[in-house]
Amino acid sequence: MNAVRDAYASDGLTVELMRSGDSFARLLVTDEDGRQTKVEMGYDWRAEPPVMMGIGPVLHPDDAVANKVSALYSRAEARDYVDVHAALTSGRYSAEDLLRLAEERDPGFDRRMFAQALRASRRWDDEDYVKYCLDAEAVTRLRSAIESWADQLELDVRQTDKLRPSQDNHLGPVQRPTGSPTSKLTTPPPGDSPASHRNR
């Protein structure tokens, strides 16, 4: 982070540290005309090594799409739906692939909650998607695909719930209520057996 801040400063830019942590930093960079932009840097877990391209190492596609699904799960901005829909319709990843990658990245990822996050796409107007270079027809396709995915996820979750053993089948051995009467075999006192009565 210090190296980045020093590099901006050497170019004549003013740098303000807005937020800093062990694995994240946010800078506010201002040029001489007063224009500002935020720069965020973070250290994140990656499942795959970078892919080497002409410009240098870049994020592996699996890690990139896992990030996009996680962003939709936690943030659910309009751009997150655009990104995830692009991955879903790319032909490279199935819906199950995207879920699996997200689960590998985040052990707390819950499919039931993700279905709810997909439903939250309704809170954005068409204009919120259009500004990401989608025309009206593309927005309609996006909404339809996202809703269909949510429908399928919720159906899968319900079916899984039906297959899950009921807790009633795991109550353990039956406990006898405290103070309940119990049967007890008693031995007749000496000389009080049926045979002794016959001999009297």
Render 146-181 in DSSP notation, one character per residue. Answer: HHHHHHHHHHHHHHHHHHSPPGGGG--SPPPPTT--
Whether residue 174 is predicted with pLDDT greater than 70 in this model: the reply is no
Q: How confident is the model at residue 194 (pLDDT cuts 50, 70, 90)?
A: very low
Bridge partners, residue 24, by sequence: 42
Q: How confident is the model at residue 167 (pLDDT cuts 50, 70, 90)?
A: low
For the chain, which residues make up each domain, given as ranges?
A: 1-43, 59-162
> What value does the mean pLDDT of the chain take?
86
- Cα separations (Å) of 125 from 11, 55, 85, 142? 40, 37, 16, 12
Whether residue 184 is predicted with pLDDT greater than 60 in this model: the reply is no
